[in-house]
Structure 1
């Protein structure tokens, strides 16, 4: 069974949940659903121990995922998670609802590494890219 992790921001929670729920419906396993983490989202005081725990959970989730989705716009940790995924040779898909990832003035240099897959458009295009590749891999 394939597993996934989605890195993004709380401001993008609707799209993150849509993609995650669709993948779960298709039989994928979410290695960590940070959208359920009220501690990081709410205005409650967060301690350094809380941050360490959340960071460890997110790192472990990236390391155990078969596919890592970077769903832009991202949050504070999104690009760290991107770096971990790249360094570990994970299948990593960089997604944006528009082609801002190809704008040299705003895009990170890391967005253009050959090991990244890029997708922009509606979230369903991202899902087709993830699920379609898995179907193609299974047929080989």
Structure 2
């Protein structure tokens, strides 16, 4: 099962920890954007954008760690348009409708709050991997 994690640079360590845990359970990471530096040129933006687009297309599931960056919501849209299961994670929950997107509540999106262990457990349960 291939996965992609969408988030912001501020969550870089959380993304790396989550990716390591999923790979430990046999998942394959389609692209690790945390190895990139912030793009300074249009050519760098284009290269990163193409890599991220292809990675979302190759993914079987998309995981969104909130808060997200600008690209997070594009990646979420690509996944929804491709009918990929989306796991939307926010440690603090989803209690503020003013900050939420209507797309957080569409079919195919599983909202998870709490800790990353809970997120991993839910993903494993839904995709028949042993824990």
- TM range, smaller chain: over 0.9
Aligned runs of 1:60-79 on 2, under 5 Å?
60-79=54-73
Structure showing the higher helix proportion among its residues: 1
Counterpart among 89, 107, 129 of residue 114 in structure 1 = 107
Q: Any gaps of 5 or more consecutive residues in structure 1? A: none
Number of aligned positions between the proteins:
130
Q: Deviations over 1:46-89 (max 9, x none)?
A: 11111011011111111100110011011110011000000000
Instruction: For 1:102 and 1:91, locate their aligned partners in 2 and report how far apart those are by CA, in whole Å.
Output: 22
SS in 1 for 2:46: helix
Instruction: For 2:113 and 2:33, locate their aligned partners in 1 and report how far apart those are by CA, in whole Å.
Output: 23
Q: Which residue of 1 aligns with 2:76?
A: 82
Q: Which residue of 2 aligns with 1:6?
A: 5
Instruction: For 1:55 and 1:121, locate their aligned partners in 2 and report how far apart those are by CA, in whole Å.
Output: 30
Q: Deviations over 1:19-65 (max 9, x none)?
A: 10001111111000000112x2xxxx611111011011111111100
TM-score by length of 2: 0.94
Q: Any gaps of 5 or more consecutive residues in structure 2? A: none
Q: CA RMSD in A?
A: 1.5
SS in 1 for 2:15: helix
Q: Which residue of 2 aligns with 1:91?
A: 85
SS in 2 for 1:73: coil
TM-score by length of 1: 0.88
Counterpart among 112, 118, 122 of residue 129 in structure 1 = 122
Q: Deviations over 1:79-138 (max 9, x none)?
A: 110000000001111110011x342111011111122111111011110011111127x9
- Choose 1 or 2 for highest CA Rg: 1
Runs of 4+ in 1 over 6 A off after TM superposition: none
